[in-house]
Structure 1
């Protein structure tokens, strides 16, 4: 079966006043049709650059990218027709209502008589009572719902969600994931980037992790979780952890989490805390989550430095937000 998305040896460099900046290096992986796939990485890892290339907003320095078998450069019209993208930025036209914006977006893709699907989108995303409201009147969360509806209005088989729940409330997150999960069950392919790793863990069957423009992990979510420390000690304390435990700990305010691989290591950690006089409250012992895996991989060995002959300066690239205009 043709992959829903295919990245083959994708490289991307930018010319800067300080010299050549390599944003992506030999990125290669396929996303199967019907998958819910996660693309994770720290800020600056190359996620948005990769999605911009997928959307046709930037051109790879070398390599090949396809959407449903359509090459994004040579067969760009079919590739973009197969793709719906929800950008990070809140971009909207202030002169139209919600329903009018969706009708106009349908027209961009040549979709006629789309009223029934627009109504379903409005209902599914909790926008039905805002259909006649001007976009300027909407809250930030409601505007983000409209961006999701605009990405889906032409019924694309491939959906790309670039940080779709950044800065939104719990209600929107639940509404969005219920609707997207339903589309995924009906056969839509979903590519998600997010910094909320609990979302990726709950939703994504496979995950790729980028670091400095390279793929440093690519596997099923269950395999990634199984490959790290299986046990985490979680507790609250007002005391400073001993130096030998800080290196394997994650501390957020009063909450500390320390990884341990088995019962013997758990006992050793607790003994070390007692010996250091650390007062522990609300002790819990649980399994590692995707955030633990992510931090472990990102704090691992740096990818090798790549030097290649300079290429011609690239032209300035449009932002992902422009795809929603």
Structure 2
């Protein structure tokens, strides 16, 4: 369904960035550039959920922004079936639903107006909005909030509206960047149930998270990004088996320790 191969991405550091990073030891920074991604590969099939893990600053968000076509990689490929995301970003946008770390909603518009505005950008017709879209609203628990201004909604409700906006055009791939961060238990539960529903409907879902219980609950595959490259990418079962007691936290630390040992040896 979606295949990510050997992504690299480098950013040129300005003078301020160089000073900010001068006290940090980061092997990805060389000669005024920062190598955010050096080799990231993974894949997710239809009806699968991939949990994307990694320390803060590892490159997860950069990788996800490339998937959404918001960033162009220096090299590598992203394909959704036959569509090359890098070469055909407009076509790719029709196949991808993307939720970034910030909601990006228009505060003075209502929840419904936000969702329908983005729906029409994707060519969604009025008949669909009047019928099938209601199912999305019910599944996310936002029916009673649709005609309120977004600026008056809670953080959790804004997040659910953002997810509705991301899936309103029935994308083949749903990409979520830390969708439950900062949310209460009830909002988190609704979002996790919605991800499970997307999976059951055949959507390929990629979500980054720091919560290993979410990975245990939902993921079929796991990818760990560290120091800008894929340190692990395989099934959830294979990830569990990295630790003797199949504990995901120990498996995660095992991957990072192996990666650090490799970096230190070169």
Structure 1 partner of 2:87: 74
CA separation in 1, counterparts of 2:147 and 2:41?
Answer: 44
Q: Does 1:33 align with 2:46?
A: yes
**What's the Cα RMSD here?**
1.8
TM-score, scaled relative to structure 1? 0.72
Task: Tell me by how many angstroms 1:115 deviates.
Answer: 2.0
CA separation in 2, counterparts of 1:11 and 1:179?
Answer: 32
Q: Deviations over 1:76-131 (max 9, x none)?
A: 12211000011111322122111111111111101112221321121111111111
Deviation >6 Å, runs of 4+: none
Structure 2 partner of 1:298: 256
Cα pair 2:242 2:254 within 8 Å, conserved: no
Match of 1:171 among 186, 195, 201: 186
- Which gives a bigger RCO, structure 1 or 2 (Cα 8 Å, sep 6+)? 2
1:229-308 superposed matches below 5 A: 229-230=244-245, 288-302=246-260, 303-304=262-263
CA separation in 1, counterparts of 2:228 and 2:198?
Answer: 30
Cα pair 1:102 1:118 within 8 Å, conserved: no
Tell me the SS of whatever aligns to 1:84. strand
Structure 2 partner of 1:7: 4
Cα pair 1:68 1:82 within 8 Å, conserved: no
Unaligned runs of 5+ in 2: 19-31
TM-score, scaled relative to structure 2? 0.88
- Which structure: larger Rg? 1
Higher helix share: 2
Structure 2 partner of 1:241: none
Q: Does 1:16 align with 2:13?
A: yes
Match of 2:168 among 153, 158, 171: 153
Cα pair 2:220 2:236 within 8 Å, conserved: yes
